[in-house]
Structure 1
Amino acid sequence: MIDVLAPVEQEGTKAVVRNWLKAVGDRVAPDDPLVELETDKVTQEIPAPVAGILSEILMQGGEKAEPGAVLGRIRLEEAATAEPVAMATKQELRRVPAAAEHYSPAVRRAAAEYGIDPATVERSGKGGRVTRADMDAAHEAARAVQSSPAPVQETVPEMPPLGGRSRAIRHSPMRLAIAEHMQMSVSTAPHVTAVFEADFSAVMRHREKSRQAFAASGVSLSYTAYIVSACVAATKAVPEVNSRWFDDRLEVFDDVNIGIGTALGNEGLVVPVIRAAQDLSLSGIAAHLQDLTTRARTKTLTPADMRGGTFTISNHGVSGSLLATPIIINQPQTAILGVGKLEKRVVVREVEGVDTIQIRPMAYVSLTIDHRALDGHQTNTWLARFVETLESWPQ
């Protein structure tokens, strides 16, 4: 037997078994897609490590897979052909009575720990299987009943249903992982947000002059490329923004690895990373952005594409918001930039000593910090350098 393992490198996020692409008894070849794992950042296919027959599925859909966990087992091709035992068909497997059902090790451990018969538990796994999450839910429900106080003998007015008719939308593993990560960040770090305003006039002029030349080389020049470049300049002024907090020290990174929050509609979002952005030109940043954004929206990113970020940009203005606060820090980083909607606004500008009213393309930009690691003067210095870089972009 050869074990099918969950990847060891997972960037600190919990993976959940999403779907088995093969059934017990199926013959597999090396690198055949075998099972899908999903985290808050990516869905990846785990390939078959060897040729053989899928003999056991140990973790069902919805179960959490820790790094290195055994997902299933494959009987080697030679062993499979040598054994005179015929494999059951999928139809025969479905007809196995409940009493003879094979439960995963996680479910069996939960049954022993909680004293709950898996056969009595409401099932949510693929094909009506019991998952560890089902066992945990049954245990919590039993505890709630045991710990609830005796009912008070009084008349309680019947509450009308909220909103009338409704429908339930089951949380996806990605949504649950995002929720857990966001709650952890808010609980871990004291969030403080500072807001500046940026004039994009210089950036718009440069982009208008340069976009055709970039397009001729196959690269789309987006405003985000300028924002990434300005982040690098601001981080040179305040390196501590590009850091990680420890109880006894602040680890300041030399490489500015910038994650770009990319929305996937109702499914959630992913954060692909531009590595060592301080070594890239505007053209290099634009090319990396185009590649990562395209692969994010076609769901072809790999875990490596989202690993190692030291700072994050949330360009929430692309969906219309002027300001969002606080934007939750992508732990274990210490800061996150928010960029609001770019729109024309009336501003006052001094021209030859006289105040004038002008129409300029403006956006609110915010920096949310972990106040354990950074203070207000560092935050404002970073934002001031960021805005200055955009507003003085060379033509």
Structure 2
Amino acid sequence: MIDILVPYEQEGTKAIVRSWLVKVGEPVKENDPLVELETDKVTQEVPAPADGILDAILLDTDAEATPGALLGRLRPADAATPTAPEAATVEAPRPAPTNERPAPANWLSPSVRRAVQEHDVDPAEVTGTGRGGRITRTDVERHVAERAKAPEPSAPPPAKSGGVTSVPHDRMRLAIARNMLGSVTTAPHVTAVFECDFSAIMAHRKAHKDAFAASGANLTFTAYFIAACVEAMRAAPAINSRWFDDRLEIYDAVNIGVGTALGDKGLIVPVVHGAQALSLLGIAQRLTDLVVRARDGKLSGGDVSGGTFTISNHGVSGSLLAAPIIISQPQSAILGIGKTEKRVVVREAGGVDTIQIRPMAYVSLTIDHRVVDGHQTNTWLSKFVETLENWPLA
């Protein structure tokens, strides 16, 4: 038998089995997707470790999946079909849904229990379609969707000025809400704002974007921001840290998360690991790969974990300034980049003040005031702005 294991890169996150993509007895090829795992950040497919036939499912839908746990087993395609009775009972036929089951509280897996609490659902009102009539996450989600469509018996009629659309929270939105509330409750947020001239990086990008594209990299402004963050960390290392109750951990590795919008579903934050060791081309290549896989829903748990700092490029949607931007705990700071727009500025030329039009943007650093003070904050922003404004053309 060949074991199918929960990936170890899930460490640090809580995962559940979302769904099996293959039934017991079906053949698979190596690297074919077998099962989907879901965390509060990402849905991840676990591939088949070898060619074979799915022989047993040991962690079924809604089961918690810890790193290294045994999900199921494959048998080689040329092996004889086992006759042991336990092989036949692993995937026994599911009985038809029934309301005659023990008290619902005794039938709720941890993930289902969280779902009914989040959506304020009475388990007794949900028809279970799992084994023995147990309730699955899918049952809860279907119940919530049906409840949203049906009007409340005692609800007042819609106001004459317009109706109301009730949209149930999805898991990602609920996870974001919990994380945001936890951050502002835990850390005193303070924001400093600088102005930055993007003329130099715009000129460099215009001169080099085609060469980068030939190397498989989309040269975005975010790549420059990451590179400038690395330089700023050298000037104020405490920004690249995590706060714990008994210590502050300051990291040599600069692992920068980049907020990536997923439309109405919220956002996800893939991480560029080891940015301090990458060239601008290396950063752009890594970033291109992460953003494409984020929008295709193909990020792994390792792609969204281990961040030591985060960038929020909120200017892409039009805002000039957002403050405070909520820190991703237990990190110590987050960078905000506002919309780039042409502004009239005063620049000295030949010893004379001149009025010029430049592409400018507000850049902000929101810090955990337990970790650093204004001096380190302004030192970091000064170096960040200096790096971008003096970017060499070559």
Gaps of 5+ in 1: 112-117, 136-157
Please tell me whether the aligned partners of residues 97 and 129 of structure 2 are also in contact (alpha carbons under 8 angstroms): no
Q: 1:242-321 to 2 correspondence within 5 Å? A: 242-321=240-319
Question: Is residue 130 of structure 1 aligned with residue 130 of structure 2?
Answer: no
Counterpart contact for 1:123–1:131, Cα < 8 Å: no
Deviations 1:311-361 (A, max 9, x none): 111111112211111111111110110101111112222333433322110
Q: What is the CA–CA distance in structure 2 between the aligned matches of 1:69 and 1:212, rounded to whole Å?
A: 43
Q: 1:42-57, aligned counterparts within 5 Å?
A: 42-47=42-47, 51-54=53-56
Q: Percent identity?
A: 56
Residue 94 of structure 2 aligns with an amino acid whose one-letter code is L
Q: In 2, distance between residues paired with 1:356 and 1:7?
A: 60
**Do the aligned partners of residues 124 and 224 (structure 1) sit closer, same or farther apart at CA in structure 2, a change above 3 Å counting?**
farther
Q: Which residue of 2 aligns with 1:19?
A: 19
CA distance in 1, matches of 2:25, 2:103: 17
- In 2: Cα distance, 1:267 partner to 1:370 partner: 27
Deviation for aligned residue 1:74: 5.8
Query: 2-side partners of 1:220 and 1:161: how far apart?
Result: 48
Q: Could you tell me whether the CA contact under 8 Å between 1:350 and 1:356 is conserved in 2?
A: yes
The alpha carbon displacement at 1:376 in A equals 1.0
User: SS where residue 248 of structure 2 aligns?
Assistant: strand
CA deviation digits over 1:65-122, x for unaligned, max 9?
36259796669787853449977999x63536443699897628999xxxxxx98342
Confirm or deny: 8 A CA contact 2:25 2:53 kept in the other structure: no
Aligned partners of 1:119 and 1:159: how far apart in 2? 26
* TM-fit CA distance, 1:232: 0.9
SS of 1:81's equivalent?
Answer: coil
For the residues of structure 1 that align with 2:104 and 2:45, how far apart are their CA atoms?
A: 23
Confirm or deny: 8 A CA contact 1:59 1:72 kept in the other structure. Answer: no
Change (3 A) 1:106 1:271: farther
Structure 1 residues 45 and 252 mapped into 2: Cα distance closer, same or farther (>3 Å)?
same
CA–CA separation in structure 1 for the residues paired with 2:342 and 2:213: 26
- For residues 139-168 of structure 1, what are the alpha-carbon distances to aligned partners after superposition, in whole Å with 9 as ceiling and x for unaligned? xxxxxxxxxxxxxxxxxxx97757742233
Q: Does 1:67 align with 2:66?
A: yes
Equivalent residue in structure 2 for 1:175, among 173, 176, 179: 173
* 1:315–1:125 Cα change, 3 Å: farther
Q: Which runs of 5+ in 2 are unaligned?
A: 114-121, 141-154
> How far 1:274 sits from its partner (Å)?
1.6
Q: Please identify, of 362-371 and 77-86, the stretch whose mean Cα deviation from structure 2 is larger.
A: 77-86
1:10 to 2:16 alignment: no
Structure 1 vs Structure 2 CA RMSD:
4.0
Give the corresponding residue for 1:331.
329
Q: How many pairs align?
A: 363
User: In structure 1, how many angstroms separate the alpha carbons of the residues matched to 2:297 and 2:340?
Assistant: 28
| Offset, 1:242 | 0.5
Counterpart of 2:229 (choices 215, 228, 231) is 231
